[in-house]
């Protein structure tokens, strides 16, 4: 009986400590988002060969006022209708408290041969004046809540980047973030 009473008291005290740490630190999960994108080059010929060059700015955001965040294993894939045309990576980096860290990419693709279905999709996109690409990927994030509770998780990004063509600007608003709303 006495052992159960001590166990109950320990659980209650642990709960109070966890709630107190949460109330003091008000933790927010770091996230990644695409801040800017521009399709610099799109070379496509009628034999189905595609070459692109894209400028992307991906920003790691840390809205925590009391804890810095670390990002590692950041990998993103740029795709056109399911074909991976480029892979973007970043070395591990830290984001200070209540700050952000931009990752700038200039992404040239190698020549990509498109099959008949993808050629038709590209022809339709060019006729409509909007060429869609998909950006997906993830990064491992680590930060601390208080001084004792390390938090680790994967943040995932998956979004469409539609570009006006021939000027290459991204269709606004650019809503591409791993932040859950």
Per-residue pLDDT of 92-143, as tens digits, reads 999 999 999 999 999 998 899 999 999 999 999 999 999 999 999 999 999 8
For 112, phi and psi rounded to 5 degrees? -110, 120
The owner of tokens 């955001």 is: 61
Count of Cβ atoms closer than 10 Å to residue 52 Cβ: 24
| Residues whose CB is less than 8 angstroms from the CB of residue 134 and which lie 6 or more positions away in sequence, other chains included | 77, 78, 79, 80, 158, 159, 160, 161
Of residues 58, 50, 66, the one with CA closest to residue 108: 50
The owner of tokens 């469409």 is: 160
What pTM does this model have?
Answer: 0.81
């Amino acid at each position: 009986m006495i052992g159960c009473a001590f166990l109950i008291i320990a659980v209650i005290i642990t709960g109070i400590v966890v709630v107190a740490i949460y109330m003091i630190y008000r933790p927010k999960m770091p996230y990644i988002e695409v801040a800017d994108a521009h399709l610099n080059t799109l070379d496509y010929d009628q034999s189905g060969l595609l070459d692109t060059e894209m400028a992307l700015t991906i920003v790691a955001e840390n809205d925590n006022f009391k804890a810095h965040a670390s990002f590692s294993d950041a990998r993103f894939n740029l795709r056109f209708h399911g074909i991976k045309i480029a892979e973007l990576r970043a070395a591990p980096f830290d984001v200070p408290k209540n700050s952000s860290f931009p990752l700038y990419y200039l992404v040239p693709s190698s020549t990509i041969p498109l099959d008949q279905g993808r050629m038709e999709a590209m022809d339709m996109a060019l006729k409509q004046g909007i060429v869609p690409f998909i950006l997906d990927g993830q990064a491992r994030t680590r930060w601390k809540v208080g001084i004792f509770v390390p938090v680790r998780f994967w943040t995932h990004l998956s979004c469409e980047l539609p570009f006006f063509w021939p000027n290459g600007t991204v269709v606004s608003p650019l809503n591409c973030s791993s932040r859950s709303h």
